[in-house]
C-alpha cells in the first residue's frame, strides 16, 4: 500500500512567522507531541543560525522518540568556501541527527541576484554539499528552493539541479513553492515533467500559502506521486504561512485512503493543534477546518434538525476521528465520550460512571465559559477529574498572601516581595520572599513555606509563564488567562488559572502546579508498590 510521510518544520520554518515565538522548552515539548502524533520527520532548526537551535539538538538526544526522526536543516555551502571548510555543513553534522536536509537554488534569478554566481557554480555547490554529507548522514533530503518558479523561468536548468542532487546522493527531492504563488494545475504539470525526466526519484512537496493554496498544492503533489509532504502545525510560517499539516493529514488519511497515521493517533490531531498554539501564546482560529471549535458547530434550525437525524447531512467526516466534537450551539449535547477518553489517558476509568463523567463535562463547560482552556494545561484537567471522583487531595491551605511591588526611583528596576501564610496539617507557616516580579516573588514565598513539609518540591521548577488577555471588557478590566509550565527531573506539565486579577490567575495556576507535583509523585510511588 502506498505510503506518504509527513515532515514537520514547525520548529524551524514555523518560527519565522510573525508573533510566533517558541522557547527551547517549548520546542522540546512540541517535538514530543509530534512524535506521539506519529509524525515521521521533525525538523528541529538550523543549527548554524542561532544558539537555541543548537541547544535543541543537544537536548533532544536525551529523549527516546517512538515514531519520529529528528532532522537538522541548512543550506548548500557558501560559494567562497568548499564543502569541507563550510561552517554551516559542519554544524549540521555536529547535531548527529539521523536526517539532514539542505536546500539549494533552482531559479536562475536567485543564482544570479542572490548568490551572484554562475549557473555552473550553483550546480557545484549542490553536488559538493550533498557528496560531503552523504557518507555521514543516515538519510539525506534535498529541498529544491523556488523550484516551480525556476521551472517556469528555465525548465532545463531547474531539472539539472534535481539531476545533480540525485546523482550526489539525495534520498528524496523536495520540490518547493517557496513564494507560494503557484496553482495546483501548475504543480501537477511540473511534477509530470519531473517524473518523466527522473522516473526513479522519490519526490516531496514544500508549499507556502501566499495564494491560500498551500494545502491544495500539497494534495495535488500527492496525487502526482509525492511520497513526502512538508508543512507546519496550523500552517504557521513566514509571510502567510506554510502548508497546514493539520488539514493535510486527515485529508490524506480519511479522504484519499493513504494510512500515513494510525486512526488512534489521528484522534489526537485537535489536541496537538491547540497545544502548539497555547505554547506560542497564539489565539486558536475557531473556524479552522477539521480542528476548530466551530468546525462541527451547528446553529441554524434546519441544520440542527438534519444533523441530529443523520450527521452526514452537514458534516464531511465524523469529528471524533480528528479529536473534535459536534456542537449544537443552542444546547451543547455531546462531550461525555471525550471526557471518558481523556480520563482513560490519565489512568482513570469512567466507563461505568456516567454521572461522574457528566459532572466533569459540566465543570469543564463552566470553566471554558469563564476563559479556561485545558489543551496545554492537562495537569489542571487531571486534578479536576480527580476532584470529581472524590479523590482530590489538598496538600496545603492558603491562609492569605500579600504582594508588594515597589519602584523606588526612575532608574532602578522594581522590587517585588511576597508574604504568605499557609496551613499544612495543623501547622501554620508564615514566610516571605523576593522575586523578579510579583508572580516570581509569590512562587518563591509559597515554595519556601512548603518545602520543609514537602522537600521533593526542591526538584521542581517553573519553566515558562504565559499571560493572555481574554476577549470581553476592554483594557485593564479584561480577564487574563495564565498558563504555567513546570518540570522536574522526569516530567513536564502545564496548569492554568483565569481571573480579572493577574495575581489571582497566577495563584490558581501555581497551586495546581504544586498539587500536581505532589499527586504525580504519590501516583508513581503507588504504581511501584
- Segment 318-333 mean pLDDT: 74
* Non-local CB neighbours of 228 within 8 Å, separated by 6+ positions: 4, 5, 6, 7, 41, 141, 172, 174, 202, 203, 204, 205
Write down the pLDDT at residue 474. 59
Write down the pLDDT at residue 377. 87
Position with higher pLDDT, 179 vs 335: 179
* Non-local CB neighbours of 329 within 8 Å, separated by 6+ positions: 297, 298, 299
Q: What's the pTM?
A: 0.75
pLDDT of residue 24 exceeding 80: yes
CB of 215 closer than 8 Å to CB of 247: yes
Nearest to 74 by CA among 64, 94, 211: 94
Write down the pLDDT at residue 473. 58
Distance (Å, whole) CA 401 – CA 227: 59
Write down the pLDDT at residue 335. 55
Distance (Å, whole) CA 381 – CA 123: 55
Q: Which of 193-197, 375-379, 485-489, 524-528 has the highest mean pLDDT?
A: 193-197
Distance (Å, whole) CA 184 – CA 214: 9
Per-residue model confidence as pLDDT tens digits over 118-129: 999 999 999 999
CB of 58 closer than 8 Å to CB of 290: no
- Rg, the chain, Cα only: 26
Residue 64: is it exposed, middle or buried by C-beta count within 10 angstroms (0-12/13-18/19+)? exposed
Percentage above 90 pLDDT, the chain:
74
Distance (Å, whole) CA 458 – CA 468: 28
Distance (Å, whole) CA 6 – CA 68: 10
CB of 395 closer than 8 Å to CB of 515: yes
Distance of CA 261 to the CA centre of its chain: 17
pLDDT of residue 380 exceeding 90: yes
Per-residue model confidence as pLDDT tens digits over 272-284: 999 999 899 898 8
Residues listed for the chain: 529
Per-residue model confidence as pLDDT tens digits over 244-276: 999 999 999 999 999 999 999 999 999 999 999
* Non-local CB neighbours of 340 within 8 Å, separated by 6+ positions: 350, 351, 357
- Segment 345-365 mean pLDDT: 81
Per-residue model confidence as pLDDT tens digits over 415-470: 999 999 999 988 999 999 999 999 999 999 999 999 999 999 999 998 889 999 88
pLDDT band at 298; cut points 50, 70, 90: confident
Burial 425-461 (b: 16+ CB within 10 A, else e): eeeebebbbebebbbbbbbbbbbbbbeeebeebeebe
Question: Which residue has cell 522519490?
Answer: 202
Nearest to 249 by CA among 290, 292, 279: 290
CATH class of 297-373: few secondary structures
Write down the pLDDT at residue 529. 66
Write down the pLDDT at residue 334. 39
Give the chain's end-to-end CA distance (angstroms, integer). Answer: 45
CB of 226 closer than 8 Å to CB of 194: no
Write down the pLDDT at residue 341. 66
DSSP 206: E
- Average pLDDT over the chain reads 92
Write down the pLDDT at residue 326. 85
Per-residue model confidence as pLDDT tens digits over 198-213: 999 999 999 999 999 9
DSSP 84: G
Residue 454 φ then ψ, to 5°: -130, 80
CB of 273 closer than 8 Å to CB of 288: yes
Distance (Å, whole) CA 71 – CA 139: 9
DSSP 373: -
Write down the pLDDT at residue 477. 65
C-alpha cell at 200: 526513479
Give the number of other CB atoms < 10 A from CB of residue 140.
21
- Segment 22-46 mean pLDDT: 97
C-alpha cell at 247: 488539514
DSSP 83: G
Per-residue model confidence as pLDDT tens digits over 82-133: 999 999 999 999 999 999 999 999 999 999 999 999 999 999 999 999 999 9
pLDDT of residue 214 exceeding 70: yes
Percentage above 70 pLDDT, the chain:
96
Nearest to 202 by CA among 228, 220, 168, 164: 228
C-alpha cell at 356: 461522574
Residue 418: is it exposed, middle or buried by C-beta count within 10 angstroms (0-12/13-18/19+)? buried
- In the chain, list all ranges with CATH 4.10.430.20: 297-373
- In the chain, list all ranges with CATH 3.20.20.70: 5-261
Query: What CATH homologous superfamily does 5-261 map to?
Result: Aldolase class I (3.20.20.70)
Write down the pLDDT at residue 331. 30
SS3 484: strand
pLDDT band at 408; cut points 50, 70, 90: confident
Per-residue model confidence as pLDDT tens digits over 133-151: 999 999 999 999 999 999 9
Amino acid at each position: 500500500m502506498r505510503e506518504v510521510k509527513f515532515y514537520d518544520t514547525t520548529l524551524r520554518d514555523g518560527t519565522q512567522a510573525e508573533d510566533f515565538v517558541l522557547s527551547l522548552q517549548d520546542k522540546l515539548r512540541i517535538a514530543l507531541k509530534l512524535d506521539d502524533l506519529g509524525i515521521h520527520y521533525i525538523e528541529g532548526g538550523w543549527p548554524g543560525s542561532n544558539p537555541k537551535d543548537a541547544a535543541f539538538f543537544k537536548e533532544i538526544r536525551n529523549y527516546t522518540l517512538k515514531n519520529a526522526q529528528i532532522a537538522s536543516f541548512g543550506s548548500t555551502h557558501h560559494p567562497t568556501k568548499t564543502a569541507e571548510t563550510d561552517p554551516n555543513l559542519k554544524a549540521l553534522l555536529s547535531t548527529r541527527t539521523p536526517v539532514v536536509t539542505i536546500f539549494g537554488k533552482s531559479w536562475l534569478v536567485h543564482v544570479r541576484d542572490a548568490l551572484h554566481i554562475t549557473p555552473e557554480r550553483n550546480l557545484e555547490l549542490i553536488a559538493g554539499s550533498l557528496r560531503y554529507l552523504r557518507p555521514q548522514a543516515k538519510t539525506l533530503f534535498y529541498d529544491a528552493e523556488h523550484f516551480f518558479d525556476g521551472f517556469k523561468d528555465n525548465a532545463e536548468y531547474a531539472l539539472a539541479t534535481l539531476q545533480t542532487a540525485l546523482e550526489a546522493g539525495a534520498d528524496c527531492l523536495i520540490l518547493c513553492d517557496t513564494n507560494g504563488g503557484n496553482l495546483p494545475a501548475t504543480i501537477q504539470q511540473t511534477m509530470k515533467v519531473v517524473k518523466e525526466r527522473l522516473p526513479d526519484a522519490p519526490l516531496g512537496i514544500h508549499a507556502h500559502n501566499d495564494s491560500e493554496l498551500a494545502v491544495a498544492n500539497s494534495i495535488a503533489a500527492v496525487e502526482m506521486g509525492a511520497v513526502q509532504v512538508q508543512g507546519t502545525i496550523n500552517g504557521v510560517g513566514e509571510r502567510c504561512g506554510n502548508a497546514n499539516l493539520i488539514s493535510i493529514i486527515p485529508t490524506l488519511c480519511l479522504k484519499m485512503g493513504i494510512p500515513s497515521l494510525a486512526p488512534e493517533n489521528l484522534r489526537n490531531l485537535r489536541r496537538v493543534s491547540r497545544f502548539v498554539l497555547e505554547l506560542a501564546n497564539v489565539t486558536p482560529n475557531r473556524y479552522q477546518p477539521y480542528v476548530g471549535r466551530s468546525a462541527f458547530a451547528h446553529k441554524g434550525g434546519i441544520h440542527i434538525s438534519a444533523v441530529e437525524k443523520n450527521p452526514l447531512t452537514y458534516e464531511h467526516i465524523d469529528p471524533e476521528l480528528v479529536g473534535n466534537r459536534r456542537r449544537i450551539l443552542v444546547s451543547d449535547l455531546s462531550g461525555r465520550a471525550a471526557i471518558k477518553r481523556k480520563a482513560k489517558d490519565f489512568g482513570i476509568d469512567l466507563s461505568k460512571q456516567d454521572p461522574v463523567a457528566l459532572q466533569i463535562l459540566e465543570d469543564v463547560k463552566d470553566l471554558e465559559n469563564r476563559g479556561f482552556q485545558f489543551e496545554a494545561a492537562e495537569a489542571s484537567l487531571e486534578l479536576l477529574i480527580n476532584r470529581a471522583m472524590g479523590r482530590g487531595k489538598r496538600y496545603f491551605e492558603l491562609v492569605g498572601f500579600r504582594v508588594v511591588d515597589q519602584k523606588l526611583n526612575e532608574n532602578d528596576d522594581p522590587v517585588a516581595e511576597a508574604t504568605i501564610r499557609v496551613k499544612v496539617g495543623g501547622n501554620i507557616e508564615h514566610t516571605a520572599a523576593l522575586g523578579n516580579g510579583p508572580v516570581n516573588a509569590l512562587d518563591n514565598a509559597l515554595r519556601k513555606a512548603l518545602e520543609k513539609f514537602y522537600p521533593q518540591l526542591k526538584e521542581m521548577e517553573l519553566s515558562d509563564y504565559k499571560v493572555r488577555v481574554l476577549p470581553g471588557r476592554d483594557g485593564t478590566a479584561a480577564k487574563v488567562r495564565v498558563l504555567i509550565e513546570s518540570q522536574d527531573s522526569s516530567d513536564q506539565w502545564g496548569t492554568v488559572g483565569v481571573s480579572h486579577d493577574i495575581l489571582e490567575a497566577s495563584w490558581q495556576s501555581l497551586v495546581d502546579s504544586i498539587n500536581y507535583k505532589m499527586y504525580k509523585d504519590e501516583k508513581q510511588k503507588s504504581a511501584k508498590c
